[in-house]
């Protein structure tokens, strides 16, 4: 649970941070989507995509279009993953565009990263942008900009 510290007359008073209900609707959709993605909840993810949805990992120069192709990609990418989460440092939106800055944390088999027989644990800094069709509650575009150099540095020590 996050706490915000306010200084009032030299006292520090913990106050709960906003919950989903206090966020703009676009950010609420983003949190629902990221939760489904990191929990590998492909049944829920199906409802966020349609045949025109685009996933683009700009740093890796990889693009997938359409529900089926995006779900197949995530299914392959997450194969055997033991833990997957996004630690959000900052999130904001401009209309239906939501920008998320944070660290994707991954713990899983090293085979996908050239470390067979090992369990790897990495935190990859990145920026995720999500553009929503608000009337349909669908993701029109999911774009990732990931710091793969930091990931490579972390993998070299494991």
Look at residue 70 and tell me whether its pLDDT is greater than 90: yes
128: closest CA among 138, 141, 142, 147? 142
Look at residue 78 and tell me whether its pLDDT is greater than 60: yes
Q: What mean pLDDT comes out for the span 125-138?
A: 96
User: Residue 21: what pLDDT?
Assistant: 63
Q: Percent of the chain at pLDDT above 90?
A: 73
Strand intervals (E) in 68-137: 83-94, 97-109, 119-133
Q: What mean pLDDT comes out for the span 140-158?
A: 94
Mean of all residue pLDDT scores within the chain: 87
Q: Are 2 and 17 in contact (CB under 8 A)?
A: yes
pLDDT tier for residue 143 given thresholds of 50, 70 and 90: very high
Query: Dihedral through CA 37, CA 45, CA 40, CA 115, nearest 10?
Result: -70
pLDDT digits (tens, 9 = 90+) for 13-60: 333 344 566 899 999 999 999 999 999 999 999 999 999 999 999 999
Q: Percent of the chain at pLDDT above 70?
A: 87
What global pTM score does this model have? Answer: 0.82
Q: What mean pLDDT comes out for the span 126-132?
A: 98
């Amino acid at each position: 649970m996050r706490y915000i510290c306010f200084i009032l007359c030299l006292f520090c008073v913990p106050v709960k941070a906003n919950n989903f209900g206090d966020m703009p609707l676009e950010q609420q959709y983003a949190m629902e989507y990221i939760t489904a993605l990191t929990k590998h909840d492909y049944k829920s993810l199906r409802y966020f995509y349609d045949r025109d949805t685009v996933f683009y990992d700009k740093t890796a120069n990889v693009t997938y279009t359409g529900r089926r192709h995006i779900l197949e990609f995530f299914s392959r990418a997450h194969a055997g993953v033991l833990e997957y989460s996004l630690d959000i440092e900052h999130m904001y939106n401009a209309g239906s565009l939501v920008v998320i800055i944070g660290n994707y944390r991954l713990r899983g088999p090293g085979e996908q990263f050239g470390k067979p027989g090992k369990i790897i644990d990495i935190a990859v800094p990145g920026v995720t942008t999500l553009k929503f069709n608000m009337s349909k509650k669908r993701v029109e575009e999911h774009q990732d900009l990931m710091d793969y150099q930091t990931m490579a540095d972390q993998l070299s020590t494991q």
